[in-house]
Amino acid sequence: MEGVNQQKTIHTLDGNQPNMNGIGQKTNVNQPVTAAVTTEGDEVRQVTLAEYKQAAQCLAEAFAEDDVARYFTEVPDRAHWTEKQKWDLHVSILEYITYAHILKGLVLAAGPDYGCVALWMLPGQNMDDYLTILRSGMWRLWYKLSAEGKTRFFDEFFPLLHDTKHEVMGVRDDESYYLVYIGTKPAARGKGYARKCIEYVTRSADAEGRACYLESSNAANPAIYRKYGFETVRSIHLKRAEKVVDLDIMVREPQPGMRQPLLSLEKVDSMMTDVPSVTRPVSVSMKLGGEKEAVASISIV
Protein backbone atom coordinates (compact mmCIF):
# COMPACT_ATOMS: atom_id res chain seq x y z
CA MET A 1 0.00 0.00 0.00
CA GLU A 2 1.27 3.44 -0.78
CA GLY A 3 2.44 5.88 1.85
CA VAL A 4 0.11 8.68 2.83
CA ASN A 5 0.49 11.79 0.68
CA GLN A 6 -0.06 14.83 2.86
CA GLN A 7 -0.51 17.37 0.06
CA LYS A 8 -3.88 18.92 -0.62
CA THR A 9 -5.55 17.70 -3.78
CA ILE A 10 -8.15 19.96 -5.33
CA HIS A 11 -10.32 18.71 -8.18
CA THR A 12 -11.84 21.09 -10.70
CA LEU A 13 -15.24 19.52 -11.17
CA ASP A 14 -18.81 20.50 -11.83
CA GLY A 15 -20.30 21.58 -8.54
CA ASN A 16 -23.82 20.93 -9.80
CA GLN A 17 -23.19 17.19 -10.02
CA PRO A 18 -23.40 14.77 -7.09
CA ASN A 19 -20.33 14.75 -4.88
CA MET A 20 -18.56 11.81 -3.25
CA ASN A 21 -21.46 11.36 -0.88
CA GLY A 22 -24.08 11.32 -3.62
CA ILE A 23 -25.73 14.56 -2.54
CA GLY A 24 -25.17 18.21 -3.29
CA GLN A 25 -23.31 19.11 -0.10
CA LYS A 26 -20.09 18.08 1.56
CA THR A 27 -20.51 15.42 4.23
CA ASN A 28 -18.01 13.39 6.22
CA VAL A 29 -17.39 10.25 4.15
CA ASN A 30 -17.60 8.15 7.30
CA GLN A 31 -21.23 9.09 7.87
CA PRO A 32 -23.72 6.91 5.99
CA VAL A 33 -25.93 8.88 3.60
CA THR A 34 -28.68 6.30 3.29
CA ALA A 35 -31.19 8.67 1.74
CA ALA A 36 -28.93 9.18 -1.26
CA VAL A 37 -28.20 5.52 -1.89
CA THR A 38 -30.63 2.87 -3.08
CA THR A 39 -30.18 -0.67 -4.28
CA GLU A 40 -32.42 -0.11 -7.29
CA GLY A 41 -31.89 1.70 -10.60
CA ASP A 42 -29.16 1.78 -13.16
CA GLU A 43 -27.45 5.05 -12.23
CA VAL A 44 -24.09 5.21 -10.50
CA ARG A 45 -24.20 5.88 -6.79
CA GLN A 46 -21.68 6.01 -3.96
CA VAL A 47 -21.59 3.11 -1.52
CA THR A 48 -21.53 3.96 2.19
CA LEU A 49 -20.12 2.08 5.17
CA ALA A 50 -23.57 0.69 5.93
CA GLU A 51 -23.47 -1.18 2.60
CA TYR A 52 -19.93 -2.56 2.54
CA LYS A 53 -21.02 -6.18 2.91
CA GLN A 54 -23.42 -5.99 -0.04
CA ALA A 55 -20.78 -4.30 -2.20
CA ALA A 56 -18.17 -6.87 -1.21
CA GLN A 57 -20.60 -9.69 -1.99
CA CYS A 58 -20.89 -8.40 -5.55
CA LEU A 59 -17.11 -8.46 -5.91
CA ALA A 60 -16.91 -11.91 -4.32
CA GLU A 61 -19.33 -13.29 -6.91
CA ALA A 62 -17.56 -11.50 -9.75
CA PHE A 63 -14.15 -12.85 -8.68
CA ALA A 64 -15.30 -16.32 -7.63
CA GLU A 65 -13.20 -18.04 -10.31
CA ASP A 66 -10.54 -15.35 -10.69
CA ASP A 67 -6.97 -16.67 -10.70
CA VAL A 68 -5.61 -13.85 -8.54
CA ALA A 69 -8.40 -14.13 -5.96
CA ARG A 70 -7.86 -17.90 -5.72
CA TYR A 71 -4.10 -17.40 -5.48
CA PHE A 72 -4.49 -16.65 -1.76
CA THR A 73 -7.05 -19.32 -0.87
CA GLU A 74 -5.92 -22.25 -3.03
CA VAL A 75 -2.64 -22.84 -1.19
CA PRO A 76 -0.88 -26.12 -0.31
CA ASP A 77 -1.06 -25.58 3.44
CA ARG A 78 -4.84 -25.18 3.27
CA ALA A 79 -5.48 -28.17 1.03
CA HIS A 80 -7.56 -29.71 3.82
CA TRP A 81 -9.98 -26.75 3.90
CA THR A 82 -13.53 -27.14 2.69
CA GLU A 83 -14.84 -25.04 -0.19
CA LYS A 84 -16.97 -23.11 2.31
CA GLN A 85 -13.90 -22.20 4.37
CA LYS A 86 -12.12 -20.97 1.26
CA TRP A 87 -15.17 -19.00 0.16
CA ASP A 88 -15.53 -17.37 3.58
CA LEU A 89 -11.89 -16.25 3.44
CA HIS A 90 -12.40 -14.94 -0.10
CA VAL A 91 -15.41 -12.89 1.06
CA SER A 92 -13.53 -11.60 4.12
CA ILE A 93 -10.64 -10.31 2.01
CA LEU A 94 -13.04 -8.38 -0.21
CA GLU A 95 -15.02 -7.04 2.76
CA TYR A 96 -11.86 -5.61 4.34
CA ILE A 97 -10.68 -4.07 1.07
CA THR A 98 -14.13 -2.62 0.30
CA TYR A 99 -14.44 -1.11 3.76
CA ALA A 100 -11.01 0.48 3.45
CA HIS A 101 -11.93 2.03 0.11
CA ILE A 102 -15.14 3.48 1.51
CA LEU A 103 -13.01 5.10 4.21
CA LYS A 104 -10.21 6.40 2.02
CA GLY A 105 -11.26 6.05 -1.63
CA LEU A 106 -14.45 5.97 -3.66
CA VAL A 107 -16.75 2.95 -3.97
CA LEU A 108 -19.37 3.09 -6.71
CA ALA A 109 -22.29 0.81 -7.52
CA ALA A 110 -24.62 0.57 -10.50
CA GLY A 111 -27.59 -1.64 -11.26
CA PRO A 112 -30.17 -3.25 -8.99
CA ASP A 113 -28.90 -5.15 -5.98
CA TYR A 114 -25.31 -3.93 -6.42
CA GLY A 115 -25.06 -5.40 -9.90
CA CYS A 116 -21.66 -3.80 -10.47
CA VAL A 117 -19.24 -2.39 -7.92
CA ALA A 118 -16.04 -0.43 -8.51
CA LEU A 119 -13.34 0.50 -5.99
CA TRP A 120 -11.36 3.60 -6.97
CA MET A 121 -8.42 5.17 -5.18
CA LEU A 122 -8.34 8.91 -5.79
CA PRO A 123 -5.32 11.12 -6.50
CA GLY A 124 -3.26 11.80 -3.39
CA GLN A 125 -5.11 9.16 -1.35
CA ASN A 126 -4.34 5.61 -0.20
CA MET A 127 -5.48 3.11 2.42
CA ASP A 128 -2.31 2.08 4.23
CA ASP A 129 -2.44 4.25 7.34
CA TYR A 130 -2.61 2.48 10.66
CA LEU A 131 -6.13 3.64 11.53
CA THR A 132 -7.62 2.51 8.20
CA ILE A 133 -5.95 -0.90 8.48
CA LEU A 134 -7.45 -1.30 11.95
CA ARG A 135 -10.92 0.00 11.12
CA SER A 136 -11.28 -1.97 7.88
CA GLY A 137 -10.14 -5.26 9.41
CA MET A 138 -7.23 -5.62 6.99
CA TRP A 139 -5.00 -6.56 9.93
CA ARG A 140 -7.04 -9.75 10.39
CA LEU A 141 -5.58 -11.17 7.17
CA TRP A 142 -2.31 -11.72 8.99
CA TYR A 143 -4.14 -14.31 11.10
CA LYS A 144 -6.66 -15.63 8.56
CA LEU A 145 -4.25 -16.35 5.72
CA SER A 146 -2.10 -19.46 5.89
CA ALA A 147 1.69 -19.18 6.05
CA GLU A 148 1.90 -19.59 2.27
CA GLY A 149 -1.06 -17.27 1.79
CA LYS A 150 0.67 -14.55 3.81
CA THR A 151 3.86 -14.96 1.80
CA ARG A 152 1.95 -14.65 -1.46
CA PHE A 153 -0.19 -11.73 -0.29
CA PHE A 154 2.28 -9.60 1.64
CA ASP A 155 5.71 -10.57 0.29
CA GLU A 156 4.94 -11.17 -3.39
CA PHE A 157 1.64 -9.54 -4.41
CA PHE A 158 1.79 -6.19 -2.62
CA PRO A 159 5.44 -5.39 -3.44
CA LEU A 160 4.97 -6.39 -7.08
CA LEU A 161 1.93 -4.16 -7.50
CA HIS A 162 3.51 -1.21 -5.74
CA ASP A 163 6.80 -1.40 -7.62
CA THR A 164 5.09 -1.85 -10.97
CA LYS A 165 2.73 1.09 -10.49
CA HIS A 166 5.58 3.32 -9.37
CA GLU A 167 7.72 2.31 -12.35
CA VAL A 168 4.90 2.78 -14.85
CA MET A 169 3.47 6.04 -13.53
CA GLY A 170 6.68 7.65 -12.28
CA VAL A 171 6.09 11.19 -10.98
CA ARG A 172 2.37 10.78 -11.72
CA ASP A 173 2.01 7.85 -9.32
CA ASP A 174 0.28 9.90 -6.61
CA GLU A 175 -1.60 12.07 -9.09
CA SER A 176 -3.52 9.44 -11.02
CA TYR A 177 -6.85 7.69 -10.49
CA TYR A 178 -6.49 4.00 -9.62
CA LEU A 179 -9.22 1.51 -10.53
CA VAL A 180 -8.45 -1.06 -7.87
CA TYR A 181 -11.37 -3.45 -8.33
CA ILE A 182 -14.38 -3.54 -10.61
CA GLY A 183 -16.70 -6.51 -10.74
CA THR A 184 -20.13 -7.33 -12.12
CA LYS A 185 -22.36 -10.12 -10.88
CA PRO A 186 -22.90 -12.79 -13.54
CA ALA A 187 -26.62 -11.98 -13.77
CA ALA A 188 -25.92 -8.26 -14.28
CA ARG A 189 -23.34 -8.52 -17.07
CA GLY A 190 -23.89 -7.07 -20.51
CA LYS A 191 -26.05 -4.19 -19.27
CA GLY A 192 -23.47 -1.41 -19.27
CA TYR A 193 -23.05 -1.10 -15.52
CA ALA A 194 -19.27 -1.47 -15.58
CA ARG A 195 -19.02 1.19 -18.28
CA LYS A 196 -20.98 3.61 -16.09
CA CYS A 197 -18.75 2.98 -13.06
CA ILE A 198 -15.65 3.56 -15.20
CA GLU A 199 -16.84 6.64 -17.08
CA TYR A 200 -18.13 8.23 -13.87
CA VAL A 201 -14.48 8.74 -12.93
CA THR A 202 -12.68 8.88 -16.28
CA ARG A 203 -14.66 11.96 -17.28
CA SER A 204 -13.31 13.73 -14.22
CA ALA A 205 -9.83 12.49 -15.02
CA ASP A 206 -10.13 14.00 -18.49
CA ALA A 207 -11.32 17.33 -17.09
CA GLU A 208 -8.37 17.40 -14.68
CA GLY A 209 -5.78 16.11 -17.12
CA ARG A 210 -5.05 13.01 -15.03
CA ALA A 211 -4.22 9.46 -16.04
CA CYS A 212 -6.06 6.35 -14.82
CA TYR A 213 -4.36 3.07 -13.92
CA LEU A 214 -5.54 -0.51 -13.46
CA GLU A 215 -4.42 -4.13 -13.42
CA SER A 216 -6.53 -6.74 -15.21
CA SER A 217 -6.46 -10.37 -14.10
CA ASN A 218 -8.73 -11.63 -16.88
CA ALA A 219 -7.19 -12.13 -20.32
CA ALA A 220 -10.48 -11.20 -21.98
CA ASN A 221 -10.75 -7.79 -20.34
CA PRO A 222 -7.98 -5.66 -21.94
CA ALA A 223 -9.99 -5.55 -25.17
CA ILE A 224 -12.93 -4.19 -23.18
CA TYR A 225 -10.84 -1.62 -21.34
CA ARG A 226 -9.38 -0.38 -24.61
CA LYS A 227 -12.89 0.77 -25.55
CA TYR A 228 -12.67 3.15 -22.59
CA GLY A 229 -9.25 4.49 -23.55
CA PHE A 230 -6.97 2.18 -21.57
CA GLU A 231 -3.86 0.72 -23.20
CA THR A 232 -1.73 -2.19 -22.06
CA VAL A 233 1.76 -1.07 -21.06
CA ARG A 234 3.19 -4.28 -19.61
CA SER A 235 2.40 -7.60 -17.95
CA ILE A 236 3.40 -8.88 -14.52
CA HIS A 237 3.33 -12.40 -13.10
CA LEU A 238 2.65 -14.15 -9.79
CA LYS A 239 4.91 -17.20 -9.71
CA ARG A 240 4.59 -19.04 -6.40
CA ALA A 241 1.80 -21.40 -7.49
CA GLU A 242 2.13 -24.27 -9.96
CA LYS A 243 0.26 -22.13 -12.49
CA VAL A 244 1.76 -18.69 -13.16
CA VAL A 245 -0.87 -15.96 -12.82
CA ASP A 246 -0.63 -13.07 -15.29
CA LEU A 247 -1.90 -9.52 -14.89
CA ASP A 248 -2.05 -6.86 -17.59
CA ILE A 249 -1.07 -3.33 -16.57
CA MET A 250 -3.17 -0.70 -18.33
CA VAL A 251 -3.05 3.08 -18.36
CA ARG A 252 -5.56 5.56 -19.70
CA GLU A 253 -4.15 8.94 -20.64
CA PRO A 254 -6.40 11.99 -20.25
CA GLN A 255 -8.48 12.66 -23.32
CA PRO A 256 -9.18 16.38 -23.87
CA GLY A 257 -12.53 17.33 -25.30
CA MET A 258 -14.49 14.56 -23.61
CA ARG A 259 -17.78 15.34 -21.89
CA GLN A 260 -17.88 17.16 -18.58
CA PRO A 261 -17.25 15.04 -15.47
CA LEU A 262 -19.98 13.21 -13.59
CA LEU A 263 -17.93 13.04 -10.42
CA SER A 264 -17.90 16.02 -8.10
CA LEU A 265 -14.95 15.99 -5.71
CA GLU A 266 -13.69 19.02 -3.83
CA LYS A 267 -10.70 18.98 -1.54
CA VAL A 268 -10.70 15.22 -1.26
CA ASP A 269 -8.50 15.25 1.85
CA SER A 270 -11.05 17.17 3.88
CA MET A 271 -13.66 14.50 3.22
CA MET A 272 -11.56 11.70 4.68
CA THR A 273 -11.68 10.72 8.33
CA ASP A 274 -10.78 13.59 10.64
CA VAL A 275 -8.46 11.37 12.69
CA PRO A 276 -4.80 12.10 11.81
CA SER A 277 -3.21 9.51 9.54
CA VAL A 278 -0.10 7.57 10.45
CA THR A 279 2.36 7.62 7.57
CA ARG A 280 3.88 4.17 8.02
CA PRO A 281 2.21 0.77 7.60
CA VAL A 282 1.56 -1.59 10.46
CA SER A 283 4.76 -3.29 11.50
CA VAL A 284 5.74 -6.25 13.66
CA SER A 285 2.51 -8.28 13.48
CA MET A 286 1.54 -7.27 9.95
CA LYS A 287 4.35 -6.78 7.49
CA LEU A 288 3.26 -5.11 4.27
CA GLY A 289 6.52 -5.50 2.42
CA GLY A 290 8.03 -2.03 2.57
CA GLU A 291 7.57 1.64 3.31
CA LYS A 292 5.22 2.11 0.34
CA GLU A 293 2.89 -0.65 -0.77
CA ALA A 294 0.17 -0.91 -3.36
CA VAL A 295 -3.47 -1.66 -2.77
CA ALA A 296 -4.49 -5.17 -3.73
CA SER A 297 -5.62 -4.48 -7.22
CA ILE A 298 -7.32 -6.53 -9.88
CA SER A 299 -9.88 -5.58 -12.48
CA ILE A 300 -12.63 -7.57 -14.15
CA VAL A 301 -15.83 -6.78 -15.99
pLDDT higher than threshold 90 for residue 228: yes
* Residues making up the chain, counted from first to last: 301
User: pLDDT at position 127, please?
Assistant: 86
Q: What is the mean pLDDT of the chain?
A: 79
Least confident of 70-84, 158-172, 181-195, 267-281: 267-281
CA distances from residue 133 to 141, 169, 176, 270 in whole angstroms, order as listed: 10, 25, 22, 19
**Residue 7 pLDDT more than 60?**
no
Q: Mean pLDDT throughout 9-26?
A: 31
Q: What is the pLDDT of residues 271-301, one digit of tens each?
A: 333 333 332 233 223 333 333 333 333 444 4
Q: What percent of the chain has pLDDT over 70?
A: 72
Higher pLDDT: 5 or 153? It is: 153
Burial 261-291 (b: 16+ CB within 10 A, else e): bbbbbeebeebbeeeebeeebbeeebebbbe
Does residue 6 carry a pLDDT above 50? no
* pLDDT, tens digit (0-9, with 9 covering 90-100), for 126-139: 888 899 999 999 99
pTM to 2 decimals? Answer: 0.76
Q: What is the pLDDT of residue 41?
A: 64
Question: Residue 129's pLDDT is what?
Answer: 87
Q: What is the pLDDT of residue 287?
A: 35
- Can you tell me the distance from the alpha carbon of 217 to that of 275, in angstroms, rounded to the nearest whole number? 35
Give the whole-angstrom CA distance, residue 295 versus residue 106: 13
Residue 256 has a pLDDT of 81
Domains of the chain: 39-271 (3.40.630.30)
* Cα 256 to chain centroid, rounded: 25
Query: What is the predicted pLDDT for the residue at 290?
Result: 36
Confidence of residue 261 (pLDDT cuts 50, 70, 90): low
pLDDT at site 260: 58
- 211-227: average pLDDT: 96
Q: Give pLDDT tens digits for 70-123.
A: 999 999 999 999 999 999 999 999 999 999 999 999 999 999 999 999 999 999
Among 4-13, 21-30, 39-48, 197-206, the range with the most confident prediction by mean pLDDT is 197-206
